[in-house]
Amino acid sequence: MAHRLRPVGLGFVRTAPVRLVFARELSAAPEPVFRALAEDVTGWTEWFGAVTLARPLDGGAGREIRLRGGTRFREAVLAAEEPEVYAYRVDVTNAPGARALVEEWRLTPAGTGTRVRWTFAADGTAPFRLALRAARPGLGRAFRSAVTSLDRRLAR
């Protein structure tokens, strides 16, 4: 059953009880990476293996995301500052135990490429927080695989 999460702001990325941070360098420059994240929302299914559906809502102010396994999110975009940061908050999800969730994608130049840092910031019930911490290795693999696929896609 879907439930509404607490409406937190971008500052939650720094204060959340659970913060999972992953980083990787891509050969693509920040601008095309940003466009793939923020402007080509439907393209996420092509490079992020866990995403089965991604579509913009409300003229780009929100997103609907579905993951393998059936997890669903309705998100609100918190920041879209080209080419540096793209962040969104989950407003509604069917993930049990979640109370607040923000994801931030921060892009910084790295030579001719981009360093991508993904922060997954969350709060929830004690079992939710424990499960999320235990899922860190899997989320890290998913992130590395996704940005590697994105880099290959942008090189075409």
Please give the pLDDT value at position 70: 96
On whether the pTM is more than 0.75, the answer is: yes
Q: What percentage of residues in the chain have a pLDDT greater than 90?
A: 99
Q: Which domains does the chain have, with CATH numbers?
A: 3-155 (3.30.530.20)
Instruction: Indicate whether 21 pLDDT > 90.
Output: yes
Q: Please say if the pLDDT value at position 1 is more than 90.
A: no
pLDDT tens profile 107-151: 999 999 999 999 999 999 999 999 999 999 999 999 999 999 999
SS (H, E, C) the chain: CCEECCCCCCCHHHHCCEEEEEEEEECCCHHHHHHHHHHCHHHHHHHCCCEEEEEEEHHHCEEEEEECCCCEEEEEEEEEECCCEEEEEEEEECCCCEEEEEEEEEEEEECCEEEEEEEEEEEECHHHHHHHHHCHHHHHHHHHHHHHHHHHHHHC
